[in-house]
Amino acid sequence: MPRFRLLLEYDGGHFFGWQRQLDLSTVQGVLEEQLRVLCGHPVQVIGAGRTDTGVHALGQVAHFDTICPRPADVFVRALNASTPEGLTVLACQEVDPEFHARYSARYREYLYRLHLRTQPSAFDRTRSWHLGRSLDIAAMQDAARILLGTHDFSAFRASSCQARSPVRDMQRVDVELARRGQEMRIIFGANGFLHHQVRNMVGSLVQTGCGRWSVEQFQHVFLGRDRTKAAATTPPWGLYLTRVIYDGEPDSLNIIEV
């Protein structure tokens, strides 16, 4: 049976997360319903990451199987004409039947946006976390470097996380200012992430940026592997799944700016 790969972007504020839920609008549920109509048979859509309610995506990857003999570009046009506001299919291509959007991924990248201006944004209230204060970016960059490499990330793991191991290889952590210093953007890249890991890491980095923690305290919390000692989970609406990379693909693939 032919397998197709989708590249998706969506506004998480329009959906109750990725995963299909009874009587709730989710990204997976919407795609499966529209593909069922297009293909004439039930279709399961598998995503690279199960984003929570309110979390956005600029480069979510998914796959589905169908016996429907349609060219890939027809799926793009048909889905974009039928799916609700807040969801766009950027690309579709037929792939090897062994390709798996979740298990074949070797690298995932997330962006978290923090709005630093005192006044909230009229446009980004549901697309960034409004802090309304400045942060010590140098201290946050020093703390962020501690996360690089292969570590046990239990300190930032949600209690509901079902991953077999808390060990992940963090390959990128960038803390940078944007929009003339009115916004901070934190980018994380790793071979995989635990449930709420990014939002929990951001919360603890902000503690350092606010001066409530020293860099040494941040490191102590991280190495202590105790979730109860780390900062609270930050809001979902500042988080974006930006890209997913697979074996044989360059790291520069699907770099999407927000």
Strands 56-65 and 239-246: parallel
Catalytic residue among 11, 23, 52, 124: 52
CA 222/CA 217 separation, integer angstroms:
9
Q: Rg for the chain (alpha carbons), in Å?
A: 19
Measuring CA to CA, which residue among 35, 42, 40 is closest to residue 8? 35
With contact defined as beta carbons under 8 Å apart, do 236 and 202 qualify? no
Token digits of residue 252? 């520069």
Q: Which residues contact 53 (CB under 8 A, 6 or more apart)?
A: 12, 15, 16, 17, 236
Measuring CA to CA, which residue among 68, 82, 215, 196 is closest to residue 136? 215
Token digits of residue 14? 């329009």
Chain CA centroid to CA 35, Å: 24
Strands 105-115 and 129-130: parallel
Instruction: Say whether 136 is catalytic.
Output: no
Measuring CA to CA, which residue among 65, 11, 51 is closest to residue 244? 51
As annotated, the active-site residues are 52
